[in-house]
Amino acid sequence: MTKSTILTGLRANNDLTIGNYFGAILPMIDMAKQKSTDYQINMFIPDLHSFTTPINHEELYDHIIHNARLFAAAGLPLDNDNIHIYRQSYIPAHSELTWILDCFTGFGEMSRMTQFKDKSGSIGSDRTSVGLFNYPVLMAADILLYNAEYIPVGDDQTQHLEFARDIAERMNTRFGDIFTVPKPVKEQHEFFGKDQGLRIKDLQDPSKKMSKSDESGKGVIFLGDDPSLAAKKIMSATTDDKAEIHYDKTNQPGISNLLEILALLRDVPKDQVVKEFEGQNLYGDFKRVVASEVESFLYEFQKRLAETNDYLIHAKLESSERAVSQTANATLLRAQQAVGLRPKELS
């Protein structure tokens, strides 16, 4: 691979939400289509990350393949040779490089990671794994193996990206030119040229984002939901007592969330939807419009998902894994040589 690499991935351990679809999957695919002429696009399924927190391991492999199907159903072009989609665990270099980087990473660095502190706090110390603690090092390996300069990240991952930059610079300073250092967060946002902070809110509690880890599921619309059930969730969404529709995320977060969802479903600017419903006072009628759009979207998406071609998906995964392994193994060898695990004359 001679082109610069853009790398992105989406965890594959349970059903995804419409928030994941509009906030992550579609932007990934749009970015891949737009930039694949000038860049190598690596879209990986981070299956090793999938059990840093407790999961049902009987279902993991099915979730991994389902993740690939979701990308295909959402429009990922499987015939584009500049776009790779691959499974993290099928490239052993991810695990091998992680161990090397571990040994140059401080315990204090990992202890200060906000996401670790948040997740371990909710799980409890007895169930918190070393894998969760170590997650940012594996993420750094995911990035550095492919000389990736650009990685679209949300706010919850910026600290991890900065660590990837730090460990790359640390290793390069000590051992010479091993890794390509990813661009800083500010340049990442400038490069991708879009709002990376899109967050569809929970239907029952619009103060928090719609999360696939929500236990009740009442405020979340999953891509696998029965369309009629999803419509009912919209109809029972929390709104307010203002009795007029306005886009006001502070005072009317529930209504504002539904306006944003409707704009995404219709693929039109938010202002267009706001103008259509601004000042109306029949919340039920408005909800029925949103519910109908949600139901239609899920019906059409699930139809496309059922029609995905598993043969083509597996063929794409396998060809991508062969291709990216060459770059990953070359980077791993440089690191192994640098730390003395391989003789330098091999290069």
Name the residues annotated as catalytic. Answer: 119, 209, 212
**153 C-beta neighbours (distance < 10 Å), count:** 21
AA letter at 219: G
- For 84, half-sphere exposure in the C-beta direction (CA atoms, 13 angstrom radius) is 23
Q: Which residues make Cβ contacts (< 8 Å) with residue 19, sequence separation at least 6?
A: 199, 200, 209, 210, 211, 220
Task: Give the relative orientation of helices 158-175 and 114-123 as an angle to the nearest 10 degrees.
Answer: 120
DSSP 16-73: PBHHHIIIIIHHHHHHHHHHTTTSEEEEEE-GGGGGSS---TTSHHHHHHHHHHHHHH
Q: Which residues make Cβ contacts (< 8 Å) with residue 272, sequence separation at least 6?
A: 263
The closest alpha carbon to 283, from 319, 317, 235, belongs to: 235
The closest alpha carbon to 271, from 261, 260, 280, 282, belongs to: 260
Which neighbouring-strand residues pair with 47? none
